[in-house]
Amino acid sequence: MFIFIALAVIGMVLVAISAFLGHDFDAHPELEVGGVGLFSLRALSIFIMTFGTVGALVRWTDRTPIVSSLWGLLAGVLTYGLYVAAMQLIRSQQASSLIEDRELVGLTALVTVAIPAEGLGEVTCRLKSQTTRRMARSARRQPIAEGALVRVGELQGDVLLVEPAN
């Protein structure tokens, strides 16, 4: 029973350290899958803590060490799975306010600097409650006046190809 209690205490200490030091104390961030660390210190600490706690409780009921270990393993895996699932759910709720160029394709924009037939101009778009300005070129190789509404057709590097909105 001493080993189970020792594992439970080690797990609790590691969870506490991880809670106070956060991701700075984590090892092997490159092993994270989908943004949630399957091998993060916190996830493994939760497994160890649950394994030790449940193993000690089952051992206290005079079960054999093998039975206690199996119950601890089952509880540890279930708690570990619940933790990873909860962290993935929380992470999936995060949003980004960054606007990527590819998100502008298909939007309507306002020409803020006239676009010559063979040159570059500037357009302004609204996306994610933000206004963004990008360099633009006429897709049909025709001039587009300042103040005209255009549709963003495609992306060429960091330049938007636009055509008049009808």
For 62-74, what is the mean pLDDT? 94
> Which overall architecture, per CATH, does domain 101-164 show?
Beta Barrel (2.40)
For 67-83, what is the mean pLDDT? 94
Predicted local confidence at residue 147, as pLDDT: 93
Cα→Cα distances 24→42, 89, 108, Å: 12, 22, 43
Residue 75 has pLDDT above 80, yes or no: yes
Q: Which residues contact 25 (CB under 8 A, 6 or more apart)?
A: 17, 18, 41
Domain ranges of the chain: 2-92, 101-164
Computed over every residue of the chain, the mean pLDDT equals 85
Unique residue bearing structure tokens 């924009």: 109
Q: Which residues contact 27 (CB under 8 A, 6 or more apart)?
A: 41
**pLDDT of 97-121, one tens digit each?**
777 778 888 899 999 999 999 999 9
Task: Output 57 or 43, whichever has higher pLDDT.
Answer: 57
